[in-house]
A = this chain, B = another copy of it.
Amino acid sequence: MSEAPVRYAEDLVPGETVRLGTYRISRAELIAFARQWDPQSFHVDEAAAAGNRFGDVIASGLHTLAIFQRLAVLAGESDWAVIAGIRLSDVRFLRPVRPDTVLTGGVRVARIEVEPGRGRALVARAGWLTDDRGRVLEVESEAYVRCRPSGGA
């Protein structure tokens, strides 16, 4: 995805923070995503949703989480030597996300635990998305990231 050098576990710094780009969640995409993955009426049925407490459809939390992940990868995590994500240790959907909302946010390296002899580290990160009023999503997650190969630069 990028010509930037690979960042191994040793290259990541606890506390380092990246600002994410922006993403506008259109009404059509909001409904299409939910029809496929989370077809509850308050996500997909505009007529039914008009009478509920939100007054309109709201985004599936999964959709908001997917937007966070896309922005985090595009903001530089695609250069990390990730082996695999292993856990979302906490995800909070703080406020409803409505059609045509513009989201942005950040992600911070929270913790790095090198596993000696296994060539990897557990890297925990804390991320968030905001709309124009404040946070709508908070995400704590863990992934395994490769350590720099022996003899590597």
A50-66 vs B, CB cutoff 8 Å, 1 = contact: the mask equals: 00010000101110011
Q: Is A91 a contact partner of B93 (Cβ separation < 8 A)?
A: no
The CA-CA distance from A44 to B88 in the complex, in Å, is 21
Interface size on A, residues (CB 8 A): 35
A104–chain B nearest beta-carbon distance, Å: 17
The CA-CA distance from A69 to B70 in the complex, in Å, is 19
The CA-CA distance from A87 to B94 in the complex, in Å, is 8
Which partner residue on chain B sits nearest A61 by CB separation?
Answer: B85
The dominant DSSP class at the A interface is mixed
Q: Is B84 a contact partner of A39 (Cβ separation < 8 A)?
A: no
CB neighbours of A53 from chain B (8 A): 83
Given contacts A40-B73, A69-B62, A73-B40, contact A90 B92 (CB under 8 A): no
Given contacts A62-B62, A62-B65, contact A40 B88 (CB under 8 A): no
